[in-house]
Structure 1
Amino acid sequence: MDIGESIKMAIATLTANRLRSGLTMLGIIIGNASVIAMVGIGQGAQRYAAGQFESLGPNTLFISPGTPQARSRTFDIPQTLVLEDAKAIAQQVPTVKEVAPQLQVQQRMIYRGRNLTATVVGTTPTFLTVRNFTIDRGRFISEQDIERHRRVVILGSDLATKLFLNENPIGQEIRIKNLAFEVIGVMEEKGAFLGNNQDEVAYIPITTMSSRIVGQRSPYGMSLTFISLSARDENSIEAAKFQITNLLRLRHQIVDEDDFTIQTQKEALQIIGNISNALTLMLAAIASISLLVGGIGIMNIMLVSVTERTQEIGLRKAIGATESDILTQFMIEAIILSALGGLLGTAVGVGGVMIVAATTPLEAGVAPVAVAIAVGVSGGIGLFFGVVPAKRAASLDPIVALRSA
């Protein structure tokens, strides 16, 4: 019997039992769809994170107090960075263009009975250029605001909308920690950064934040949450990191482990990429279990099919069909089930990825490699798990098969 005739017989057998064939393919369909969707969404998350970091500017560095190990051992942020450190970096590190110190806390804000809790950031005029932000209305913090500890505030776009609704906030007063602050500006919409809404933030002079909101928290000066800075150009990033490290170690009189952490944009993006890669692989591995379950389902149904078709097998062998013919037909049936399930699963997975891309900020896309691997694995699973029932059918003795029918 030629291969074409075997394929026709396999298709006829499978279509005669549509419900059973469909249920048999279900595990393969779910497995393929899950693998393709998980890989596509994971890659979309990576692209989204890369876009978020690129919005900061290519030459940005961040200095945070303490080391990752020290921060993981306590809920309190170590008080090892102070404003004088930021000033020293701006004055003494030639590869640094601008420095933006930041001190931030969560505070309740009130305006005419409307109140909410949001992040309040104490910073300096250089924040706009270092962090690539833009003012929409009004103005940002000035050097005079810093020197005179003025109680002025700039609101993020969402924060301004929630507090003032359709009213113009410029010139109005809000209360922060029971102190009156004049609204002098509204930021242009920025969007979320790694899950944090940057448009629900208020900005005040860093001196006002230290003296009126949080108070003195470090014996060495005004403590900072972190320092953002920009290098002069992309080629200066590593040199800036090296020079800042030496300067801070000297200022903090460090002999052993640093009490600060410096991260470049590229390093932060690499960490995020490694995390998302690990999560994608884990989710894809979990989804792949469905392919294994689907393969076992194919083997079980094919074994049942061998039992049900004992008379057919015996009759075919009695009129001249060889063991190779029987083996080929059952193998083809298993491969058709897994391949068709793989194609349907691919369609479902691609559709799921397109829906995610259309309804979320993730730039999810279909990875051709994931599709090829999923379809190839599903076909291989059908071939692998179809061997046992196919061999069992081929080895049936025709006389015994006809007697048992």
Structure 2
Amino acid sequence: MVRRMPPTETVRMALTTLRSNRLRSLLTMLGIVIGNASVITLVGVGRGAQELVKEQLSSLGANVLFVVPGNGDTRRRGTVLPKTLVIEDAAAIEEQVPSVKRVAPQITSSQVVQAGARSATSSISGVTANFVPVRSFEIASGRFINNEDEKSARAVVALGPDLKTKLFPTGDALGRQVRIGSQAFEVIGIMASKGAVFGSNQDENAYIPLSTMVNRFTGRDPTYGISLSFISVEARNDSSTGAAKFQITNLLRQRHRILRDDDFAVRSQKDALTIVGTITGGLTLMLAAIGGISLLVGGIGIMNIMLVSVSERTAEIGLRKSLGARSSHILQQFLVESLVLSSLGGVFGTAVGLGAVGLMAAVTPLPANIGMNTVFVTVGLSGSIGLFFGVLPARRAAHLDPIVALRSL
């Protein structure tokens, strides 16, 4: 009666065989290592990008809606946006929409800012005192624009921290004079760092009173009045954001006498997060699929090497069968060898991938974001690939005729 081979003995024999061909085993595992490392790294990049965009959107302010001129078609075509939002629209939203807490109209313009011999091209925003609480900005030193600055159209400016460093790299900027275009302004405040949103560094911006922006730079259109770049609106709370969006849309449709297509759009953080989640989720899935191709190639490499191993070990297989080994024993041994190669490659590849994600987080703005579920799934997938691609060589070895195999001795 043939003795049943215990699983531990099968594993021991498989490890002994792999150790006897260390270089071949390492090279065979390399494909799985690269595949696993690719999956972990690329998924980490995708998730890191998703988290970064979410953080940037959150920095725009809590419960904030953005009312922008033009509809989706005009923005997608990249045409000059129509002057469809005016200062009276912002006042009407603040006065007539009950779910709105504060409104911050804004006009933006690109200007050269100078301080002595230093200069920088910056985005200049004409804003009101509501800008800071609505957009969740903070003041690092000095003060921000107040209602008196707005009423008197004073020539005062608050600088972003990066812009301040460019213009005044060593000294204090408060109370100093800068020139915006050809106009002189007094620096009254330095903003706290806010970071970048969609590639635009908000720390390089400058802020002046909205009335000053109109009087000195943009002017008043004789037909439309004071046209706005956009309006930031803070809802009373998170649950009232949807109601605020609905009410603002209806109010502006009435004010603009719209019968068909809107000439404005109201966007919320939730809308942006939904769009970003869809895009980055698809990107992450695509990157994982690219890494999965590397795993597939690694599996094919294991199958090729195992087929070569079957040819080289024909005599060994024949000898074992003649001594009483069953086909199932041979099948198990070759499957275990494939599983060990793919599993070890998966573990090493995961370690390499996690290291790459950590390095990425250290040298780029992308945060390290890779869940343990992804790690377990990837390692399990690499082991499954080893089993799948090891079946053909194992079946070929198990079905060798022992008499034919022994002739190779």
TM-score normalised to the size of structure 2? 0.93
The Cα offsets for residues 235-285 of structure 1, whole Å up to 9 and x where unpaired, read as 322221111101100111111121111122222222222222111111111
The 2-side partners of 1:156 and 1:58 are apart by 20
Q: 15-24 vs 216-225, which deviates more? A: 216-225
Q: Is the 8 A contact 2:62 2:135 kept in 1?
A: no
Partner of 2:178: 174
1:297-347 deviations in Å (ceiling 9; x for gaps): 000111111111122122222222222111111111111111111111122
Identity of aligned residues (%): 57
| Further displaced range: 80-89 or 183-192 | 183-192
1:229 partnered with 2:227: no
Identify the match of residue 260 of structure 2 among 256, 265, 270: 256
Contact 1:216 1:222 in 2 (8 A): yes
* 1:120 alignment counterpart: 124
Residues of 2 paired with 1:80 and 1:358: CA distance? Answer: 44
- 1:141 match: secondary structure: coil
Equivalence for 2:187:
183
Q: CA RMSD in A?
A: 1.9
Asked if 2 retains the 8 angstrom alpha-carbon contact of 1:71 and 1:78, the reply is no
Q: Which whole-Å deviations, capped at 9, do the CAs of 1:176-228 have from their partners, x for residues lacking one?
A: 22222222221122223343322110011222223322344683122222110
- Partner of 2:340: helix, strand, or coil? helix
Sort the Cα spacing of 1:291 and 1:35 in 2 relative to 1 into closer, same or farther, 3 A. Answer: same
Of 47-56 and 109-118, the range deviating more from structure 2: 47-56
- CA shift in 2, pair 1:403/1:218, >3 Å: farther
Matched, 1:72 2:76: yes
Aligned match for 1:289, one of 284, 287, 293? 293
Supply the distance in 1 between the matched residues of 2:353 and 2:105 (Cα, whole angstroms).
Answer: 46
Match of 1:129, as an amino acid? P
Mean alpha-carbon deviation: is it higher for 86-95 or for 203-212?
203-212
Equivalent position of 1:132 in the other structure: 136
Distance in 1 of aligned mates of 2:222 and 2:7:
82
> Do the aligned partners of 1:101 and 1:224 also contact (CA within 8 Å) in 2?
yes
Match in the other structure for 2:330: 326
Aligned 8 A contact 1:115 1:163 in 2: yes
2:152 matched to 1:148?
yes
Return closer, same or farther for 1:362/1:218 CA change in 2, 3 Å cut-off. Answer: farther
Match of 2:372 in 1: 368
In structure 1, the residue matched to 2:19 is: 15
Secondary structure of the equivalent of 1:119? strand
Instruction: Give the unaligned 5+ runs of structure 2.
Output: none
State which drifts further: 141-150 or 19-28: 141-150
| CA shift for structure 1 position 358 | 4.2
SS in 2 for 1:199: helix
CA contact (8 A) 2:39 2:378 kept: yes
Other-structure match for 2:390: 386
Q: Which moved more, 1:338-347 or 1:202-211?
A: 202-211
Question: Any conservation in 1 of the 2:327–2:398 contact (CA below 8 Å)?
Answer: yes
Query: Equivalents in 1 of 2:399, 2:23: separation in Å?
Result: 28
- 1:292 is matched by which residue type in structure 2? L
Equivalent-residue separation in structure 1 for 2:341 and 2:251 (angstroms): 67
For 2:118, give the aligned amino acid. Answer: R
CA distance in 2, matches of 1:376, 1:218: 69
1:124, 1:205 within 8 Å by CA — same for their partners in 2?
yes
Check if 1:31 corresponds to 2:35. Answer: yes
Q: Distance in 2 between matches of 1:303 and 1:264?
A: 58
Say whether the 8 Å CA contact 1:44–1:362 is kept in structure 2: yes
| Aligned-partner SS, 2:107 | strand
Say which is worse superposed, 241-250 or 272-281, in terms of deviation.
272-281
Tell me, yes or no, if the aligned pair for 1:40 and 1:364 is still in contact at 8 Å. yes
Distance 1:13 1:111, change over 3 A: same
Between 1:308-317 and 1:39-48, the stretch displaced more is 39-48
Q: TM-score, normalised by structure 1?
A: 0.94
Query: Contact 1:147–1:207 (CA<8 Å) still a contact in 2?
Result: yes
Amino acid at match of 2:33: I
Contact 1:36–1:367, Cα closer than 8 Å, also in 2? no
2:102 corresponds to which of 74, 93, 98: 98
Residue in 2 that maps onto 1:60: 64
**In 2, Cα distance between equivalents of 1:325 and 1:236:** 68
Q: What SS does the aligned partner of 2:300 have?
A: helix
Determine if contact 1:125/1:141 at 8 Å carries over to the other structure.
yes
CA distance in 1, matches of 2:99, 2:176: 41
- Please say if residues 86 and 225 of structure 2, whose CA atoms lie closer than 8 Å, have aligned partners that are also in contact: yes
d(CA) in 2 for partners of 1:10 and 1:74?
63
1:320 alignment partner, SS class: coil
Q: How many residues align?
A: 405
Q: Is the 8 A contact 1:191 1:199 kept in 2?
A: yes
